[in-house]
A and B are shown apart, each in its own frame.
Chain A
């Protein structure tokens, strides 16, 4: 029981990170119906940006307070990753809007190859260790045998995720930006007729997705303590699986899917086999799409003849 509880805590932590990335996939798919293959690599880029900023602040500038440093890193990583996402959208996707359906997909795959190789070339192929921070643990049940622990990192990850999701939810539901975005999602042409700048709204969607991916990147870097140019593809596919499982296009679905994927992955590794944990994720992806294409919280797609 204690072992199970521990795995649930780990799973929720991991799932929060997947959920943050999944929102980027689900929003972009909702608004332009495209699988943004480069999103996983944008996330990977943000882990590097976060690590470099953290090192600049703590090593070069010698900032004493870790909380202040992390806050500055969070803001900087969100801004700079958003800038990247904006530029990618402008260069690689906007010229192809309204064109052949496969063209943006191929362009996104090309962008994904470009980003991972850019980081490999400029930062080197080796794993980069992050300075260990927030390593303290709180023991919940110091009873006989197995003791359940929660680390400060895990608390930070869950709290930051929950807080940002609340802000994000407010942004989408209660502001004019969010209204414009939801309008574009329902009917882009009608939204344009009513005076919404569709291109700007779509660019903003990419920017918001990237900002949340940057938060996930910072948390991922703190949690695992190591970053690599390779870390884009697999977390990206897992987050996409989360988006699909939750119902693509649905924001609460993405978060729910992320938590479920995190839990399934952790429990699978704990009880079955750690080697096949990615196979489990990919199988869930395939099974969901085949038997439940609209996901848990998504709207069923109506086929028009």
Chain B
């Protein structure tokens, strides 16, 4: 009690200084907001550009800056004290407990995911469930799978790839083109898409073997953009910006999801509803994501997986111990790309339509952000980061009640990516090493001890 009272009196004595500081922040916010927020460039009826004043935006920005800074200044010191009180570094017992907890979390997570469509159906009804299963379930799982796929390249092998979306695009476009030109079904396209993406992974991985660090990141970014620009401009093959539509949807062991007599619903004597396909797609992507996770965990124990992690820790030591760094890097690129290709193939089949718009640099950035925010190399961390980032931005679509506060012309969905970008910055400042910063060693003596993040290297390439 006495501690709390002392804390409170100290907070009270800090108040004037905090207000002064927050006023400074508000002044800065005013300086930042006035040039870009205060006047909006619009067009009048004669199509001439005019300026429309919107000082209310500036007022909101300044108020948010003032109150945010004030709250931060008053809350922060007690948090710093709490952090100091916490023991530094987990002991062996604690690490075992946290490992057990994460395993328990993973098991319950999988069970919950398997039951998720039923939960959504019972809570939201047949009409409302499609949004929850499609926009949240499938959308998030695609990013979880992409995050896990990229985790092999970035998290395990330590190669920063900013063009991962290229492999996603290769998977999607190879599926679309195989369906269109050869009439293949989804289940045949899926493995082929993975193989094509892996080949592209090797093809693009080969020239960048010598590069390290930010240079590697930039070259992979350039490759990703080149593939997207070729997809836009090679109109005879890809139909350019218009994209490819009419991609075959996955069938359930040969039963298509339609209202015909040979369809899934008719075969099982159910009433036809498009929800059947959505639920089926949910389980397909769940299975694909779990396969990605299982393969990654298995690969980590194989010599190749250990070589990846050794490469991340110290490339020169690796080379001097006789590890073939060329093969190690290329397999990381190829396997990571293959999972990207699977996800792309699924994406094409789910949408039924693809265009280059879906494969911009922004997508690569989001996937890299998920991997880094998850704590590079941590499977659970990546899944949590995907749920937080993608689920969070999807939730912003649901904020229609804000219209009652800010008026009918307030559209919360357009603030989605604004909040996303700011959240990326703040999450990075809050946890620079990601949400799950410890690592489980794949090989250990006597006792499995979590490795603290500051002892793990982030790789050179």
Contacts and interface: CB of A to CB of B under 8 A. Distances in A.
Whether A associates with B in a native complex is yes
A106 B49 contact: no
Contacts of B145: none
A240 interface: yes
Most chain B CB neighbours (cut-off 10 Å) among A33, A107, A120, A237: A107
A129 B214 contact: no
Given A51-B41, A285-B222, A293-B215, A84 B32 contact: yes
Contacts, number: 171
Interface string B128-153: 00000000000000000000000000
Nearest to B215: A289
Contacts of A169: none
A35 B51 contact: no
Contacts of B54: 122
A96 B428 CA distance: 8
A131 interface: yes
Nearest to B220: A286
Contact of A121 (B41, B42, B362, B414): B414
A297 interface: no
Given A55-B51, A121-B414, A279-B229, A95 B40 contact: no
A290 B207 CA distance: 7
A121 B31 contact: no
Interface residues of A, number: 67
B186 to A, nearest CB: 31
A96 B432 contact: yes
Contact of B36 (A118, A290, A305): A118
Interface stretch (B1-9, B278-286, B335-343, B364-372): B364-372
Interface in A105-122: 105-107, 109-115, 117-122
A117 B418 contact: yes
Contact of A91 (B217, B425, B432): B425
A193 interface: no
Interface residues of B, number: 59
A196 interface: no
B80 to A, nearest CB: 14
Nearest to A285: B222
Given A121-B414, A282-B225, A289-B218, A110 B369 contact: yes
A170 B220 CA distance: 36
Given A113-B421, A278-B225, A48 B36 contact: yes
A105 B221 CA distance: 13
Interface of B: 28, 31-32, 35-37, 39-42, 49-51, 54, 57, 160, 207-208, 210-211, 213-215, 217-219, 221-223, 225-226, 229-230, 232-233, 316, 361-362, 365, 368-369, 372-373, 376, 414-415, 417-418, 420-425, 428-429, 432-433, 458
Interface of A: 29, 33-35, 45, 48-49, 51-53, 55-56, 59-60, 76, 80, 83-84, 87, 91-92, 95-96, 99-107, 109-115, 117-124, 128-131, 233, 237, 240, 244, 275-276, 278-279, 282-283, 285-286, 289-290, 293, 305
